[in-house]
Structure 1
Amino acid sequence: MTIRLPVVLTFAALVAGLAAGVVLAASGLALWLRDAIALVGTVWLRALQMTIIPLVASLLVLGLSQMVRAASAGAAARRFLMLVFGVLIAGGVFTAVMLPLLLEIVPIPPSAAGFLAEGAGQAQEVPGILDFLASLVAPNIIAAAAETAMLPLTIFFALFALAVTRLPEEQGERLLGFFHALANAMLLIIGWVLWVAPAGVFALAFGVGLRSGSGAFAALAHYILVVSAMGGFVLVLAYVLAAVLGGISPWRFARAALPAQAVAVSTQSSLASLPAMLDSASRLGLRAATAEFVLPLAVAIFRATSPAMNMAVALYVAALAGVEITPVAAIAGILVALVISVGSVSLPGSISFVISIGPIALAMGVPIEPLALLVAVEMLPDIMRTLANVTMNLAVTSAVDRTGK
C-alpha cells in the first residue's frame, strides 16, 4: 500500500515551531498557552508511540518469513543473504564503535539539550551481562509488550516467523494473512498520525525553541551531518565490496552506478531506482539472470544502511540524554537493528524511521521522545540512506554474480 506523507510540510512546521519559540521566548508568553501547545505535542507523540509494537510485530513476521522463503530459492539467494547479513552487521558494529569517537571530536552543541528538557522520559536501566542473557527470553510476551522490552519481543517474533514457515501451507498462509492485515491496519493508523505531524511537530519544536533559542538550528544541522556520516560508511563499503568480491574496479563501478545513484537521490526510493539499477548492472557486464533475480530481491528485503544509520540516531539521542551505552547495550541495539531492518525495507522513510529506531532505542535504554522531532528532518539523511542502499544493492549483485560463475 502507498502512503503519501506531508514530509515537506512537516519539515516546514519544525522550522516554524523553532522560530516561533525563539521569537517568543522573551515575550512572557502566558503559561496556559505554553501548556496548551505542549499538550498538543504530547498527545501527538503518544499517538505515534502506540503503534510501534503491533506494527513491528507484524512486519517482523512478514519480513522474516519472506527471507526464509528467499533462502530456499537456490544457491544464489543463499549467497545474497550471507552478504546481506554481513553488510548489516558491519554497519551496526561500525556505528557502535565510531559514532561515540566522532562525537568526542565534534561534540553535540550545548543548545541540543533543549530537545530533552520536556517529556524526555526516564532511560531504561540496562542489565548486566547475566541479566541481559536471561532477559532474552520473556516468560510472558504480553507483559514484555507492556514493558516495551523490545529485545525479547524481537526474538519471540523472529522465532514465530520461522515457525510459521514450517506449518502446513494452508495454516501458514492464514497466519501470514492475519499479520498482513494487522500491518496494513497499523500503517493506516500511523499514516493518519503522520498526516497531522505538522501540528504535533510544530508544538514540540515550539517548546524546544523556547528552551534552546536559535542554537536549536545548529543542533539539528550537527545531527544530520553525524547520522549521514554513518551512512557514508555503507556507501564506501559498497565500492570496496564491488572491488574485492565483485572484481570491479572502483572507477568502473562508479561510472556504471552513477545513473542509478542520480535516480536514488532525486526520488529517495530504492523501488523507483530499480530500472536504473538494472541498467547499471548491464553496464557492469553482470549476467541478466543474476541482476533480474538479486536486485528485486534486494529492494524487497535489504536496506543496507538500516543498522548503521538507525544505531547512529539511537546513539546520538543517548549522548544527548547522557545515557552511558555499555557493550551489552550496544549488542542489544545491534541485534534489534539487524532484525528490525528486515521488516521496514518497503516502508516510506518517515514510517520506517519511527518503527525502526524506536525499538532500538528501547532495547538500549535510550529515551525515544526526541525521535518525534527528529522524524521531521529525516528527509535529509534519507538522501544518504537511499544513495548508499542503491549503491550497495549493485555491489552485492556484482559479488553474487562473480561467485556464481
Structure 2
Amino acid sequence: MKKIYLPLVLLFALNSHAQEEDSPTNSFKISGSVDVYARFNLNSFNRNYDDIDAPAPATSFANDPGFAIGMANVIMSYETGKVGAVADLVYGPRGEDAVFNSIGSPNIVNQLYVYWNVSDKVTLTLGNWNTYLGYEVISPAANFNYSTSYMFSYGPFSHTGIKADFELSDEFSAMVAVMNPTDYTEFNPVGTYTLGAQLGYAKDTGSAFLNFLYGDQDGNLDGIGNNGGDASAGSTFQVDLTAGVDLSDEFYLGFNTTYNITSTGEAYTDTGIRDIDGDDFGFYGAAVYLQYSLSDSFALGTRGEYFKEFNGGAGALGVYDADGDAGVFALTVSGNIAIGDLMLIPEIRLDSANQDIFLNKDIDGTQDSLASVLLAAVYKF
C-alpha cells in the first residue's frame, strides 16, 4: 500500500502545482490621494472681485486665493494574467482643470484604459492615459513641488488612443502611439489624429526620456463649422527631453526642456480656404530641479524654469511685445515634510516676466513680477 500511495500523492501534488501555474493570477488594487492648500500673494491682492481674479502664476492648478481644495483621486486597477484595466477618477477643482476638454461626462475620468502584456517585452494599451511628455504629472502625490511649471501647464495633459510599449533591453525602452488630438479624452470630435513616440533609458541611478508628438490638434477646415468655424491651425510638433540622476544618497538633479511649434494653418475668406499669413507660433523652455534630503522625513527642493512664447505662443502670458514674444523666469522653493502617508509642502515662488503681466496690489496698474507663498497637504493611500 505504501508503494502505491506515495506515487499517487506525488502525482496529485504535481498536478495541483501545474494547475496553479496555468491559472491566471487576479490582482485588484486601489490607490489615490487627497490634496488641499492655502495660497497668498506677497506683492499683490488676495481676493476675487466681480470680474477680476486674484493674481496667480499663469500655470495650472494651485492658483486660488486663501484656503482652497485640490482634488480627491481614486485609482482602481484589476489584472488577470496578461490583461488588465485601470480607472483613474478625480473630483475637485484640480481634477476638473486636468480634464478640461472632456465633453460629455461630468469631468471625473482622468485615465481609463485596458492593456495586454503581449509578451515580456511588449505591452499594448487602448484608452485614455496621462501624457508621457514632461517632468511633472497631474497627481500632486508624484510631484516634489506643489505648484506646476509653465512647460507642464501648456503641454498636453492626457491622450486617448492606442500605444505600444517595447522593452528593448534592460536599459532601453520605446513607445509609439496613434492618438486623438491632445486632451480630447472621450472621443475625437475633429477627425484628425496625432502621432506620439518615446525613447527611454533607465538605470538604478537615473533615467532619460526623449519624447515626440506630431499632429493637427483642431481639425482641417471642412466648410461646416469645424470646431470654431472659420479658421484652423496647422500641425503641432513637440519634442521634449526629461532626465534625472541621483548625484548622491542625498542629492537629486532633474532636468526638463521642451520645444513646441504650430504652423499657422488655414482660414475661410471670400474666395475660399487659404493659408493664413504669418509665422508659426509656439513656446520653448527649460527647467532644473534640485532636491536635497536632510532626513527620511524632510527634504528641500528648488525648481528654476525659463519659459518663452513666440508669435503669441499658447496665450499663456497674455501680454506680448510687438513681435508677439514674451518670457518668464520662475523660481520655486519647496519643502517636503513627511508625516506617515501625509506630505506637507510649504512653498515660496517668484515669477518674473519681461512684460507686465500681473496686476499690482492697488489694482490700478500692472507689474512684471509676482511673489507668493503656499502650504499644501497631500495624503496618499
Q: TM-score, normalised by structure 2?
A: 0.22
Q: TM-score, normalised by structure 1?
A: 0.21
Q: Please say which structure displays the higher CA radius of gyration.
A: 2
Q: From the two aligned structures, give the one with the greater strand fraction.
A: 2
Q: From the two aligned structures, give the one with the greater helix fraction.
A: 1
